[in-house]
């Protein structure tokens, strides 16, 4: 039987009171709740289709924008002070609590794309979730990307990005950057980590709130063979930080989900419908 799905736009406060934009996509009587966290520069609307698929399987889903991104961006991005640690320590934990309220006293899960999987390692309440599903989550270290992608990464970090900051004070949407506009501190922090051979793994002991090695919640990372960013090496290195969880890594070909191409973000786009039920089928095993 087809579920009756309701959608509603909401605002909710991050841990420090910053107002975040979210969208609830849920059936009338959910069996569990799922927080869906975006990749860097991807607005929440990119994840609407997979959230709808989850709602049709009985899951109440919350998609949201981190501060500085999409519906959570200020009117003027130049000079806006927000970085990835703010997303992990202030935005993600508040969103997780808000998602839990969608299905009180029922199981809670997370689904994180790219940096959305990194944030689990900075959230002090991630253990509210019964399991985490990651999609294309790997290290951001430039040298761990596929060799053919590395020149583009270096150009972005060393030339294009700095030029944008000099001219505008932030990374604008468009150009070689395919995402939404990025606050300058996000770019700088991301670039600093991207030149660490183990990404922020080399500096985790210097980052307040980092708790990757204390995450015991089960993790399954769905990755794709044609992903130039989350290469096999990149995925393995990032997942090695979650030592207590012993995450499971699934390496899929696009054809495994009925798609001709996935790369880093295609799992959420039309043509990848075969993938959308997979994380929720995985959650079913924990109910």
Q: What percent of the chain has pLDDT over 70?
A: 99
Res. 174 pLDDT band, cuts 50 70 90: confident
Find the mean pLDDT for residues 227-240: 97
pTM for this predicted structure? 0.97
Res. 166 pLDDT band, cuts 50 70 90: very high
Question: Which one, of 12, 25, 30, 7, lies nearest residue 98 by Cα?
Answer: 12
Find the mean pLDDT for residues 131-141: 98
Domain architecture of the chain: domains with CATH: 5-284 (3.40.50.1820)
Q: According to the model, what pLDDT value does residue 234 have?
A: 97
Is 2 a residue whose pLDDT tops 70?
no
pLDDT tens-place string over residues 39-56: 999 999 999 999 999 999
CA triple 226-152-69, angle to 5 deg: 85
Q: According to the model, what pLDDT value does residue 201 have?
A: 86
DSSP string computed for 73-102: --S--TT----HHHIIIIIHHHHHHHHHTT
Q: According to the model, what pLDDT value does residue 94 have?
A: 98
Orientation of helix 48-56 relative to helix 277-284, angle to 10°: 40
Estimate the share of the chain in helix, then strand, then coil, as percent rounded to the nearest 5: 40, 20, 40
């Amino acid at each position: 039987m087809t579920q009756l799905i309701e959608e509603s736009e909401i605002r909710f406060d991050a841990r420090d009171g910053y107002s975040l934009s979210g969208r609830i996509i849920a059936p009338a009587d959910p069996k569990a709740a799922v927080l869906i966290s975006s990749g860097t520069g991807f607005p929440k609307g990119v994840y609407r289709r997979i959230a709808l698929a989850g709602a049709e399987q009985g899951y109440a889903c919350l998609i949201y924008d981190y501060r500085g991104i999409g519906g959570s961006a200020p009117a003027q991005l130049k000079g806006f002070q927000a970085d990835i640690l703010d997303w992990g320590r202030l935005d993600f934990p508040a969103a997780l609590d808000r998602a839990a309220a969608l299905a009180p006293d029922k199981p809670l899960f997370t689904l994180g794309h790219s940096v959305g999987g990194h944030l689990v390692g900075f959230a002090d309440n991630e253990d509210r979730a019964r399991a985490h599903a990651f999609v294309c989550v790997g290290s951001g270290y430039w040298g761990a990307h596929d060799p053919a992608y590395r020149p583009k990464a270096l150009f972005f970090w060393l030339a294009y990005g700095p030029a944008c900051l000099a001219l505008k004070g932030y990374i604008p949407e468009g150009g070689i950057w395919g995402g939404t506009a990025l606050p300058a501190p996000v770019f700088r922090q991301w670039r600093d980590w991207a030149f660490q051979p183990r990404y922020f793994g080399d500096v985790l002991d210097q980052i307040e709130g980092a708790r990757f090695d204390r995450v015991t919640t089960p993790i399954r990372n769905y990755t794709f063979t044609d992903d130039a960013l989350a290469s096999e090496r990149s995925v393995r290195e990032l997942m090695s930080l979650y030592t207590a969880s012993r995450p499971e890594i699934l390496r899929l070909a696009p054809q495994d989900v009925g798609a001709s191409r996935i790369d880093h973000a295609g799992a959420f786009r039309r043509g990848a419908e075969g993938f959308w039920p997979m994380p929720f089928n995985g959650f079913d095993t924990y109910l």
